Amino acid sequence: MKFSIGGSLKLAFRPWVEGLENIPAEGPAILASNHLSFSDSFFLPAVLDRKVTFIAKAEYFTSPGVKGRLTAAFFKGVGQLPVDRSGGRGAGDAAVRSGIEVIRRGELFGIYPEGTRSPDGRLYRGKTGGLARVALATGAPVIPIAMIDTEKIQPPGKVVPKLMRPGIRIGKPLDFSRYQGMDNDRFILRSVTDEVMYEIMKLSGQEYVDIYATVAKRRITEAEKAAKAEQKAAGRHGHHAPEPERTAPDGATGDGRERPSGDTTGHAAG
């Protein structure tokens, strides 16, 4: 199924690729990518000769009905592993165990350090719970990857994709084997994660925001609810409220070229 889907995607969208030579022909590696669209997990494997295993929400595999069964079959066919993300730290541990198993089989493990799709096309702070822990537990090289324009092809909430060419930039492998076995040191985990995010930022050209994407999503949702409430209240009083000014979440860099902070203050690992 992987080859039939990959061939169809390449034929329809003609994705361009830079740095394909950085993917090893054999042996394990961790592919760490930014995350702009639901389709990221399909475009990247489509341009590679090797299988890439990503982790996916368990809901994709357990939804009821015909649609649910078809979705589950599709995700299994393209090599995705189900992980229950509802259990907090337990969910992170499950993801790490899955990643370690993939690496020990000598395969490619794909992961999105941001933990969720970017809400606005910018690059957000990487979570240490998956990427760094798998890298330090296994000694596998980490290959930074930037997906380009995939959010324009299939924005959140859109079912029918727009036909246009996405891009994929693949960076040189990063070696963290010097830290192998130190996967319980939160300072090392943060340093490794930030180094990977910095490389992704350079490849993608995205503006970097030093907060988690989940926090940004929550702030955007809260701002939208507040704006709607204000407009509703204004309507009851017979006048229109001014359009709310859109401001960047706290932590935005402004020019998009600032290096991820390398923060070692012990934020909770994702």
Judged by average pLDDT, the poorest of 30-34, 55-59, 191-195 is 55-59
Q: Residue 179 and residue 175: Cα distance in Å, rounded? A: 9
Residue type, 266: G
pLDDT score of 6: 66
pLDDT band of residue 253 (cuts 50, 70, 90) is: very low
pLDDT score of 264: 39
Q: pLDDT (tens digit, 9 = 90+) per residue, 18-30?
A: 999 999 999 999 9
pLDDT over 50 (residue 268)? no
pLDDT score of 269: 40
Average pLDDT over residues 74-101: 71
pLDDT score of 124: 97
- For the record, the structure tokens of 247 come out as 């401001």
Contacts (Cβ under 8 Å, ≥6 apart) of 100: 134, 137, 138
The winner for highest mean pLDDT among 89-93, 230-234, 235-239, 261-265 is: 230-234
Average pLDDT over all residues of the chain = 82
Q: Where are the alpha helices (DSSP H) in the chain?
A: 2-13, 40-46, 59-62, 65-77, 89-104, 131-138, 150-153, 186-204, 213-236
Q: How many other CB atoms are there within 10 angstroms of residue 100's CB atom?
A: 17
pLDDT score of 33: 97
Q: pLDDT (tens digit, 9 = 90+) per residue, 155-202?
A: 767 777 788 999 999 999 999 999 988 988 999 999 999 999 999 999
Q: How many other CB atoms are there within 10 angstroms of residue 66's CB atom?
A: 7
